[in-house]
Structure 1
Amino acid sequence: MRKIKFGDIIIAAFLLALSFIPFCFLKTHKQANSNHEEMAIVKVNNKTVKKLNLNHNTVWTYDKNGQRNVLEVRDKKVHVVEANCKDQVCVKEGWKSKPGQTIVCLPHKFLVEIKQSGKHTRGNKDFDHTLVTP
Structure 2
Amino acid sequence: MKIKEFIRASHMKPWDFIIIFTLIVSSFLPLVVFGSQQIPENAEKQAILRVDGKEIETFQLVEGKKGQRYTYKSDIGETNIIEIDGDRIRISEADCGDQICVRRGWASKNGETIVCLPHKVVIEIVAIDGSETDDLIY
**1:72 is matched with which residue?**
83
Deviations 1:65-122 (A, max 9, x none): 21100010113110111000000000000100000000000000000000010233xx
Please tell me whether residue 94 in structure 1 is matched to residue 105 in structure 2. Answer: yes
Aligned ranges 1:1-134 → 2 under 5 Å: 30=40, 34=42, 36-55=43-62, 56=65, 57-64=67-74, 65-120=76-131, 124=132
Q: Percent same amino acid at aligned positions?
A: 36
Determine helix, strand or coil for the equivalent of 2:72: strand
Determine helix, strand or coil for the equivalent of 1:91: helix
**Quick one: which amino acid aligns to residue 53 of structure 1?**
Q
Structure 1: 5+ residue stretches without partners? 1-25, 126-134
**2:25 is matched with which residue?**
none
CA distance in structure 1 between the partners assigned to 2:78 and 2:59 by the alignment = 19
- The CA deviation at 1:54 is 1.2
The count of residues paired between Structure 1 and Structure 2 equals 94
Kindly report the root-mean-square deviation, in angstroms, between the aligned alpha carbons of the 2 structures.
2.3
CA distance in structure 2 between the partners assigned to 1:103 and 1:51 by the alignment = 14
CA distance in structure 1 between the partners assigned to 2:89 and 2:95 by the alignment = 18
CA distance in structure 1 between the partners assigned to 2:130 and 2:113 by the alignment = 20
TM-score, structure 2 normalization: 0.62
